Amino acid sequence: MTTETPAILIARDDGTVVSQNAQARQMMGAGAGSACWDVVPAVEDAEGLPCRRGCVRELLRSGLERSQQAEVRVRGRRHGLTCVPLGDQVVCMLTSAASSAPDSWELLTPRERNVLQMLADGETTGSAAKKLEISESTVRTHVEHMRLKLGAKTRAALVSLGYRLGFLT
């Protein structure tokens, strides 16, 4: 596994993006000159972003001790979004909540994440299949695919890895 570089974005008091690192440009597209509340939500498959019109100015008024932190999900994995007021600008950093990012072969499909959540909730193959309205053999196939992707020998190890890699909260 590789260490994920955080996506960093800097915005002026009016919300205009003045700088981004390469990771931010890759995740959000080139945003210089645009409003941060338009740029940050462009992160593909992101859920729970607190960005809204005027958020930068509000944060600057509250001062350094009032940095904003939020837990968001990007492609089903937990991330932290931290925005810190510094002078007349705000520095926003999107980091993976997991200690390291999964390689592409370790990424789980949305359905695999659903099955993993069911396992973490203590569901059996049968009860997970019923709740997800799929067959038991399909649940077993998803479990096997996840075990192979993540190198887990048991369902318990799979759930443990799910938490460690940020697929589960």
**Structural domains in the chain?**
7-96 (3.30.450.20), 104-164 (1.10.10.10)
Which range among 5-19, 83-97, 110-124 shows the weakest confidence by mean pLDDT? 83-97
CA distance 128 to 134: 8
What is residue 65's predicted lDDT score, i.e. its pLDDT?
60
Instruction: State the chain's mean pLDDT as an integer.
Output: 83
Q: What percent of the chain has pLDDT over 90?
A: 27
Higher pLDDT, 167 or 134: 134
Determine the Cα–Cα distance for residues 74 and 96; give it in Å rounded to an integer. 9
Q: What is the dihedral of CA 41, 111, 80, 164, to 10 degrees?
A: -160
Reply yes or no on whether the pLDDT at 142 is more than 90: yes
pLDDT tens for residues 90-122?
888 888 765 555 555 557 888 999 999 999 888
pLDDT at 64: 58
